[in-house]
Amino acid sequence: MALLEISGLKLAFPGEDGPVEVIHGLDMTVEAGETVAIVGESGSGKSVTALAVTRLLDHAGGRITAGRIGFTDRAGQVRDLATQSQEAMRLLRGPEIAMVFQEPMTSLNPVLTVGRQIAEGVMLHQGLSEQAATEEARRLLEVVRIPDAARQLGRYPFQLSGGMRQRVMIAIALSCRPRLLIADEPTTALDVTVQAQVLRLMRSLQKELGMGLIFITHDMGVVAEMADRVVVMQQGRVVETGDVVALFAAPSHAYTKMLLDAVPVLGSLADQALPAPFRIAGAPVVVQDTVQHGAVPVLELDGLVTRFDVRRRFRLAGRIHAAEQVSLKVWPGETLALVGESGCGKTTTGRSIIRLEQPRSGTIRVNGEDLSDLSGAKEKRLRRAVQFVFQDPFASLDPRLTIGFSIAEPIHTHGLAQGPAVQARVQALLEQVGLLPEHARRYPHEMSGGQRQRVCIARALASEPSLIIADEAVAALDVSIRAQVVNLLMDLQARLGLAYLFISHDMAVVERVSHRVAVMYLGQIVEIGPRQAVFGNPQHPYTKRLLEAVPVPDPTRRAAHAALDESEVPSPLRTPDDMPVVAPLVAVGAGHYVARHRVGGLY
Amino acid sequence: MLDYIIRRLAGTVPVLLAVSVFVFAFVHLLPGDPARMVAGPEASLEQVERTRAELWLDRPIWQQYVRYLDQMVHFELGQSIKTREPVSKLIAERFMPTFWLTVWSMVWAVIAGVGLGVLSGVRRGHWIDRAATVFAISGISFPSFWLGLLMIDLFSVRLGWLPTSGYGSWLSFVMPAFTLGSAVAAVMARFTRSAFVEVSAEDYVRTARSKGVPERGVIWTHTLRNALIPVITLTGLQFGFLLGGAIVVETVFAWPGLGRLLIDSVGFRDYPVIQAEILLFALEFVLINLLVDVLYGLVNPEIRLK
């Protein structure tokens, strides 16, 4: 008897004109001890399905309209979760079925201690006293490998890092030894190295407890890493289901094929020096030979330093060394990727260039002109030459302005066109990013995430910049859309000779787009060089760690990288008198430099 | 925590200084001669000049300001033009009635407002929610003098249960506090409801349910504690507002509070009293804001520990 057997499941949410069905007859099974991955893009219904199994759907406004969710409980009795009462479901949640959610930042109650939040479930379902439950909570924190567990019990969520919080979430989920664990994108919000740690933890705990695991994700790399079986969903329907090895080797449905093709695979350009766009629909791939070496660099940073003071009791308590002596050059037509994990200073570096943060020292040269201070007309020249594309296309467009207005704004600001010429230019820009001229009249909420990011790119292009700083510009997009937007960026580079400073944590995408890579760690560049050299022959231990942590979308290569670092990346916060050492990088190859000095923390 | 309180206290100093400058300037911005105003309309020229010298009005402005600050620090608020009594005595007499009226009004407002707000937040769309909305809208739109008069008519004139007016036993508090508190309760109910609804949609509330926490626990432990954080701010603001004296309610119930003192002083152009009241209101607001900040820190560990 299967642990979970869903058949003919239909779900609906109330809409303006009656209920809207979002799941149209879903069948799937999960055996005890098995990991089933549900994959699909946004809107495929994978998260809603998880909510239906736990019946948290009832609190989210949705309703089960048809079908059966057969669950075999501890006593061996099969229960239909679709028809259980709220109270019966509540007693199942925790001891029988548990969930881990995507956002560790918001999934824990900010005003309760971590210990209390873990102990709560233990007290409820196991009838333990508060003291015994707290002791159990401490044990659980050790199970999820949180160091110094006893002390962590009294801490609040905001005092913990994202990875730590997700471990706490896992501890909560496991607290009553559930027989089915549903993890909804549990590592999407985490850094790669942290993701690798959390995935490994989940896998070993699952083995220990013999749990059934439903793993919901959009990341094929994670699927290959975790799953025994895969269920592929698209728009509320299962399009394909099968054994993970077989499915990756020979996907039968066109959508699965498309998903797998769109996934950037780290190492796929290992023997190719130049970046190359994704292969979409069998079009021939032209490598990106666009760099104009020998020309004046579009961007030249020399010793850029940006620090943030942390004050306590009116005194300087510490400093965040977000960017320490960052020096780099970007040539016309080149993509330089700035990689690293949260807090490494890659975003601050980007923001410092356009003075969204004020650097303490260093020179910033744009197209050969020193724009370190923005006196007179320099600011205008900087704003025109350097444009920014942000991560979240929802938040970076004004919801009350039309797309056309947003794109036209920089044209007006820089006086690049007047009168009807502005509209013509807006339409040309929209076409350039693969949208239609009539999109100009739309508002942001009338467009999809991918379309919105195209709008942001069009807006960036409007001032005819020579450099675009793309800060995680494709991170929030679905795989297939991400591939399209990456290809668009590369196409624009080939046509317009643009240079990109491509800030990203996604190593596989970085391999696709960049000519050169700079790895940042604790505010410093620890390795910089041609992409092929840095990825193929990483010299700095941090670069190696970063590359090893990337999940490989190939289930047959799972055992390949076993030894993982369990340590946390230290914080870039230092005491005021503790100045970091910055030594010149050492050349290890043609244009390939690495830090040999001790940066701090682990390396 | 102490650290945090000291920091907040230090922050109030510039605010109070700014208010003192404003209040000080007030006398100088009024039309006419302040010395003549203080000396009174029948005063002779010598008397006016003597007053001018007494008040340092013939000295440079900065010296006047320093003297003024010195007096304020020692609670020397001058003399009422109308009654010739020390202003500090007048204010002291009127403060306690207003203070207690405020306290009881707010007790009623918090109980009714937060209670109704949570009730309608939990039973969203239910008839209870709609009834609470009706109450809240009427509370906001019903003029308090009218509510006061209706209550006097019913409870004092017809039933004879409560005194019509004045400040005395606890019975005298019932109607003024209810009248004053109801308007505040209405606003609080709306505010609490929306805070509650907002927090209900948070991920950690879903986490609580995924642990199998009963609805009671979801509401009390996980939702309400977080929803009350913004409500504290509103409570503080309303408290400060009411401490300024509720002019309408104090007038309807012949309450000897600061609100009526203010009205009387404005009518009589009793400037020293007006000045003192403005300063007092500012001080009250600053102290209440401080209290709110401290409470905030108690409820929200992120503020306390950072």
Summarised one tens digit per residue, pLDDT across range A18-45 is 889 999 999 999 999 999 999 988 888 8
Q: Any bridge partners for residue A64, and if so which?
A: A11
In this complex, the residue of A94, A106, A111 whose CB is nearest that of residue B211 is A94
Q: Confirm if A101 and A131 have CB atoms less than 8 A apart.
A: no
Closest listed residue to residue B247, CA positions, set B220, B271, B281: B281
Q: With 0-12 CB in 10 A as exposed, 13-18 as middle and 19+ as buried, what is A75?
A: exposed
**Across A119-130, average pLDDT:** 91
Task: Copy the structure tokens of residue A423.
Answer: 């509209």
Q: Do the Cβ atoms of A110 and B226 come within 8 Å?
A: yes
Percent of chain B with pLDDT over 70: 98
Which residue in the block uniquely carries the two structure tokens 């701010």? Answer: B233
DSSP element (H, E) containing B242 = helix B225-243
Could you tell me the pLDDT band of residue A566, with boundaries at 50, 70 and 90? low
Q: Confirm if A399 and A413 have CB atoms less than 8 A apart.
A: no
Per-residue pLDDT at B37: 72
Could you tell me the pLDDT band of residue A392, with boundaries at 50, 70 and 90? confident
Could you tell me the pLDDT band of residue A563, with boundaries at 50, 70 and 90? low
Using the predicted structure, report yes or no on whether residue B305 has a pLDDT greater than 80: no
Domain ranges of chain B: 2-73, 92-300
With CA atoms as reference, the chain B residue closest to A117 would be B208
Contact A90/B at CB under 8 A: yes
For residue range B99-131, what is the model confidence (pLDDT) as tens digits?
888 889 899 999 999 999 998 988 888 888 888
Per-residue pLDDT at B277: 85
Contact A103/B at CB under 8 A: yes
Closest listed residue to residue B80, CA positions, set B34, B23, B38: B38
Residue A4 or residue A265, greater confidence: A4
In this complex, the residue of A92, A107, A156 whose CB is nearest that of residue B207 is A107
**Across B81-93, average pLDDT:** 83
Distance from CA of A180 to the nearest CA of B (A): 12
A94 to chain B: which residues are within 8 Å by CB?
210-212
State how far the Cα of B183 lies from the Cα of B190, in Å rounded to an integer.
Answer: 11
Q: Confirm if B213 and A121 have CB atoms less than 8 A apart.
A: yes
**Across A85-106, average pLDDT:** 90
Please state the pTM of the whole predicted model: 0.80
Residue A183 or residue B277, greater confidence: A183
Distance from CA of B293 to the nearest CA of A (A): 16
For residue range A185-208, what is the model confidence (pLDDT) as tens digits?
888 777 888 888 888 888 888 888
Residue-averaged pLDDT of chain A: 89
Distance from CA of B134 to the nearest CA of A (A): 25
Using the predicted structure, report yes or no on whether residue A141 has a pLDDT greater than 80: yes
State how far the Cα of A196 lies from the Cα of A550, in Å rounded to an integer.
Answer: 7
A303-312, A436-445, B136-145, B161-170 — which one is most confidently predicted on average?
A436-445
Distance from CA of A95 to the nearest CA of B (A): 8
Q: Confirm if A168 and A107 have CB atoms less than 8 A apart.
A: no
Task: Copy the structure tokens of residue B258.
Answer: 């600061």
Q: Confirm if A177 and A206 have CB atoms less than 8 A apart.
A: no
Using the predicted structure, report yes or no on whether residue B245 has a pLDDT greater than 80: no
Per-residue pLDDT at A572: 75
Contact B304/A at CB under 8 A: no
**Across A331-351, average pLDDT:** 91
B305 to chain A: which residues are within 8 Å by CB?
156, 159
H-type helices in A263-362, by residue range? Answer: 346-353
State how far the Cα of A105 lies from the Cα of B203, in Å rounded to an integer.
Answer: 9
Closest listed residue to residue B288, CA positions, set B246, B236, B242: B236
Distance from CA of A485 to the nearest CA of B (A): 30
In this complex, the residue of A99, A106, A156 whose CB is nearest that of residue B204 is A106
A196's CB contacts (< 8 A; 6+ apart) are A548, A549, A551, A564
| DSSP state, residue A127 | -
* Side-chain half-sphere exposure of A156, counting CA atoms within 13 A: 14
For residue range A466-523, what is the model confidence (pLDDT) as tens digits?
999 999 888 878 888 888 899 999 999 999 999 999 999 889 899 999 999 999 998 9
Contact A293/B at CB under 8 A: no
**Across A305-318, average pLDDT:** 80
Could you tell me the pLDDT band of residue B306, with boundaries at 50, 70 and 90? low
Print burial letters for A302-324: b (CB count within 10 Å at least 16), e (below 16). bebbbbeeeeeeeeeebbbbbbb
Per-residue pLDDT at A68: 94
Q: Do the Cβ atoms of A54 and B206 come within 8 Å?
A: no
Per-residue pLDDT at A277: 87
Distance from CA of B201 to the nearest CA of A (A): 8
Q: Do the Cβ atoms of A108 and B3 come within 8 Å?
A: no
Domain ranges of chain A: 4-105+178-261
Using the predicted structure, report yes or no on whether residue A248 has a pLDDT greater than 70: yes
In this complex, the residue of B204, B210, B214 whose CB is nearest that of residue A98 is B210
**Across A538-543, average pLDDT:** 93
Using the predicted structure, report yes or no on whether residue A592 has a pLDDT greater than 90: yes
With CA atoms as reference, the chain B residue closest to A107 would be B204
Per-residue pLDDT at B77: 77
Using the predicted structure, report yes or no on whether residue B35 has a pLDDT greater than 80: no
State how far the Cα of B167 lies from the Cα of B304, in Å rounded to an integer.
Answer: 41
State how far the Cα of A315 lies from the Cα of A166, in Å rounded to an integer.
Answer: 33
Print burial letters for B65-90: b (CB count within 10 Å at least 16), e (below 16). eeebeeebeeeebbbbbeeeebbeeb
Domain B92-300 architecture: Orthogonal Bundle (1.10)
Pairing verdict, β A237-243 and A299-312: unpaired
Contact B223/A at CB under 8 A: no
For residue range B132-160, what is the model confidence (pLDDT) as tens digits?
888 888 878 888 788 888 887 887 778 87
Complex ipTM > 0.85? no
- Looking at domain A4-105+178-261, its CATH superfamily turns out to be P-loop containing nucleotide triphosphate hydrolases (3.40.50.300)
Could you tell me the pLDDT band of residue A238, with boundaries at 50, 70 and 90? very high
Residue-averaged pLDDT of chain B: 83
Using the predicted structure, report yes or no on whether residue A589 has a pLDDT greater than 80: yes
Per-residue pLDDT at A564: 57
Per-residue pLDDT at B181: 86
Q: Do the Cβ atoms of B202 and A95 come within 8 Å?
A: no
Q: Confirm if A137 and A155 have CB atoms less than 8 A apart.
A: no
State residue A573 phi and psi, 5-degree precision.
-85, 125
State how far the Cα of B260 lies from the Cα of B251, in Å rounded to an integer.
Answer: 6
In this complex, the residue of A103, A120, A159 whose CB is nearest that of residue B211 is A120
Per-residue pLDDT at A281: 64
Could you tell me the pLDDT band of residue A561, with boundaries at 50, 70 and 90? low
Q: Confirm if A303 and A327 have CB atoms less than 8 A apart.
A: yes
**Across A342-355, average pLDDT:** 90
Residue B16 or residue B41, greater confidence: B16
Per-residue pLDDT at A565: 60
Per-residue pLDDT at A319: 85
Rounded-to-5 percentages of helix, strand, coil across chain B: 80, 0, 20
A172 to chain B: which residues are within 8 Å by CB?
207, 211
Per-residue pLDDT at B101: 87
Q: Do the Cβ atoms of B300 and A110 come within 8 Å?
A: yes
Q: Do the Cβ atoms of B214 and A90 come within 8 Å?
A: yes
Contact B13/A at CB under 8 A: no
Could you tell me the pLDDT band of residue A569, with boundaries at 50, 70 and 90? low
With CA atoms as reference, the chain A residue closest to B299 would be A111
A107 to chain B: which residues are within 8 Å by CB?
203-204, 206-207
Closest listed residue to residue B258, CA positions, set B248, B243, B270: B243
Per-residue pLDDT at A100: 92
Contact B3/A at CB under 8 A: yes
Distance from CA of B306 to the nearest CA of A (A): 8
Q: Confirm if A408 and A426 have CB atoms less than 8 A apart.
A: yes
State how far the Cα of A186 lies from the Cα of A202, in Å rounded to an integer.
Answer: 10
B7 to chain A: which residues are within 8 Å by CB?
313-314
Cα–Cα distances (Å) from A532 to A346, A497, A585, in that order, read 21, 21, 18
Percent of chain A with pLDDT over 70: 97
Contact A112/B at CB under 8 A: yes
In this complex, the residue of B210, B217, B225 whose CB is nearest that of residue A93 is B210
Q: Over B101-150, what HEC string results?
A: HHHHHHHHHHHHHHHHHHHHHHCCCCHHHHHHHHHHHHHHHCCHHHHHHH
**Across A144-162, average pLDDT:** 85
Contact B202/A at CB under 8 A: yes
Cα–Cα distances (Å) from B117 to B130, B189, B195, in that order, read 11, 4, 9
Per-residue pLDDT at A560: 52
Q: Confirm if B174 and B182 have CB atoms less than 8 A apart.
A: no
State how far the Cα of A355 lies from the Cα of B153, in Å rounded to an integer.
Answer: 68
**Across B41-46, average pLDDT:** 79
Contact B89/A at CB under 8 A: no
Using the predicted structure, report yes or no on whether residue B98 has a pLDDT greater than 80: yes
